[in-house]
Structures are given as structure tokens and as C-alpha cells.
């Protein structure tokens, strides 16, 4: 019996847990539930889940706090559940090591997509030499970017940004994370760099830069690169 990945659901709402369990089990996951942050930490240690879905608002310990405690000893992917108004919480969670987030209400498709990405990044994998997103191809080994097989000329900064996004393809990266990786820790507040460079990147890579399909903006949080799966 090939058992699917084990997901630990941490949410205090019974209905949400039930809906998640049904959807996850239908997609071949094994599910464990808990409604408290304290228990989540214990269960993670005991069960060693492959993925954790963690609600930001928990009755006992704040979800963010749970995340921080987990991150002290485990790299298990964590997907945070939040409500729309809490951009700050989302960013804080991502910066604290969450792999992704979902805003309530969300659809099952979104959830599955996030889980797949998180899972993939968690598996030790050989860096794929070529990244593909629609008609865009990036040959990492040759530092070659093509669109419709035509080479695209990128500045070193643009390429640096693109490479970072490709490394975390499908995952959201916060402004801080990107700025820190590409420009360095002293530039983490210069979000306008990102506005300018991402506009340039889109200009070069997207079919319609006004309606991007590859490089997506996560409002108030950061950016996400969508590649072909």
C-alpha cells in the first residue's frame, strides 16, 4: 500500500478541518488534525508529517509563534492560512520561514497547487538545468534566456532576480527575501527596486506585460514565479 504524504492540519475551526481533510484525502494525502498550537508542535515531533497547514489565528499560541518554534528544529514545509487583512502577518510568516500562504476563502485547486510546490521544494532534488514557463526557457547552466527560441538579453540584476525566482518556482518570495538575496541585507526596504526590475523583466518575458502570467505579484507580500509543472 503506497501511502501518500502525511499532512498535519492545524486549525481551530472544525468545518475548515473537515473540508481540508476531505479534499486532501481525495487527492491521496494522509491527514492528521489538531486544533491547538501546543499540540501541533507535539504532533509534528511524533508523526514527522511531510507538510503542515497552519492557521495564523489559533486559540492557544499564535500561529506565527508555532511556526517559529517549529523552525527551530524542522524544515517541514509549512503553509499558513490567513485572512485578507493580515498582509503583515503573511509577510512575517514568510520571513519566519513559512513556505507559502493561502488567504481564506480559498479554493481546493489553489491549496493543491501550493502543497505540490511546497512538497517539491522539500525534496532533495537535482537542480533542473532548464526551466520552462510557456514559451520562455531559461538554461541555467549556460545562463541563456530565450523567448520563443529567441535569446533575451537580461542585465545581471535581472538575471539574478530571475534565477532566484526559478530556484523557488511556484513559491512566493517576500520583498525582503528577494532584496536581501539579490541586493544584500542593507537594501531590504528598497521595494521600489523590485517595482522597476520586475517591470523590466515582464517587458522582456511576458506576452502581455500588463497581464503577467509568469511573474505574478502577490499584493503587499512579494512575487511568485509560475513555471510549467
- Give the 3-state DSSP-derived string for the chain, with helices as H, strands as E and coil as C: CCCCCEEEEECCCHHHHHHHHHHHHHCCCEEEEECCHHHHHHHHHHHCCCEEEEECCCCCCCHHHHHHHHHCCCCCCEEEEECCCCHHHHHHHHHCCCCEEEECCCCHHHHHHHHHHHHHHHCCCCCCCEEEECCEEEECCCCEEEECCEECCCCHHHHHHHHHHHHCCCCEEEHHHHHHHHCCHHHCCCHHHHHHHHHHHHHHHCCCCCCCCCEEEECCCEEEECCCC
Which one among 39, 62, 87, 207 touches other proteins, defined by CB under 8 A?
A: 87
CB of 46 to other proteins, least distance (A): 35
Cβ proximity to other proteins: between 119 and 187 the closer is 187
The region of 9-17, 34-42, 50-58, 203-211 touching other proteins under the rule CB under 8 A is: 203-211
Any contact of residue 105 with other proteins (CB under 8 A)? yes
User: What is the spatial distance between Cα 178 and Cα 174, in angstroms, rounded to a whole number?
Assistant: 6
Which one among 101, 197, 201, 224 touches other proteins, defined by CB under 8 A?
A: 197
Residue 167 CB contacts under 8 Å (≥ 6 apart), including other chains: 127
Which one among 183, 188, 226, 227 touches other proteins, defined by CB under 8 A?
A: 183
The cell for 4 is 501518500
The region of 2-10, 40-48, 62-70, 183-191 touching other proteins under the rule CB under 8 A is: 183-191
The region of 20-28, 32-40, 81-89, 166-174 touching other proteins under the rule CB under 8 A is: 81-89
The cell for 72 is 527551530
The region of 4-12, 20-28, 44-52, 153-161 touching other proteins under the rule CB under 8 A is: 153-161
Which one among 25, 191, 228, 229 touches other proteins, defined by CB under 8 A?
A: 191
Which one among 27, 30, 74, 217 touches other proteins, defined by CB under 8 A?
A: 217
Which one among 62, 96, 120, 187 touches other proteins, defined by CB under 8 A?
A: 187
Any contact of residue 185 with other proteins (CB under 8 A)? no
Any contact of residue 129 with other proteins (CB under 8 A)? no
Any contact of residue 216 with other proteins (CB under 8 A)? yes
Cβ proximity to other proteins: between 123 and 210 the closer is 210
Amino acid at each position: 500500500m503506497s501511502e501518500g504524504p502525511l499532512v498535519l492540519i492545524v486549525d481551530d475551526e472544525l468545518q475548515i478541518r473537515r473540508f481540508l481533510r476531505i479534499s486532501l484525502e481525495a487527492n491521496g494525502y494522509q491527514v492528521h488534525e489538531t486544533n491547538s498550537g501546543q499540540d501541533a508542535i507535539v504532533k509534528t515531533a511524533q508523526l514527522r508529517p511531510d507538510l503542515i497547514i497552519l492557521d495564523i489565528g489559533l486559540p492557544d499560541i499564535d500561529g506565527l509563534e508555532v511556526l517559529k518554534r517549529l523552525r527551530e528544529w524542522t524544515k517541514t514545509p509549512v503553509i499558513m492560512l490567513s485572512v485578507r487583512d493580515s498582509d503583515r502577518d503573511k509577510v512575517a510568516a514568510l520571513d519566519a520561514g513559512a513556505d507559502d500562504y493561502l488567504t481564506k476563502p480559498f479554493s481546493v485547486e489553489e491549496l493543491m497547487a501550493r502543497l505540490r510546490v511546497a512538497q517539491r521544494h522539500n525534496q532533495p532534488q537535482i537542480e533542473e538545468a532548464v526551466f520552462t514557463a510557456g514559451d520562455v526557457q531559461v538554461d541555467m547552466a549556460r545562463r541563456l534566456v530565450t523567448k520563443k527560441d529567441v535569446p533575451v538579453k537580461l542585465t545581471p540584476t535581472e538575471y539574478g532576480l530571475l534565477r532566484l525566482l526559478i530556484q523557488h518556482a511556484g513559491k512566493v518570495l517576500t520583498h525582503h527575501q528577494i532584496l536581501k538575496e539579490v541586493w544584500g541585507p542593507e537594501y531590504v526596504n528598497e521595494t521600489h527596486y523590485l517595482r522597476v526590475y520586475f517591470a523590466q523583466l515582464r517587458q522582456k518575458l511576458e506576452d502581455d506585460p500588463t497581464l503577467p502570467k509568469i511573474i505574478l505579484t502577490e499584493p503587499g507580500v512579494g512575487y511568485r514565479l509560475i513555471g510549467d509543472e
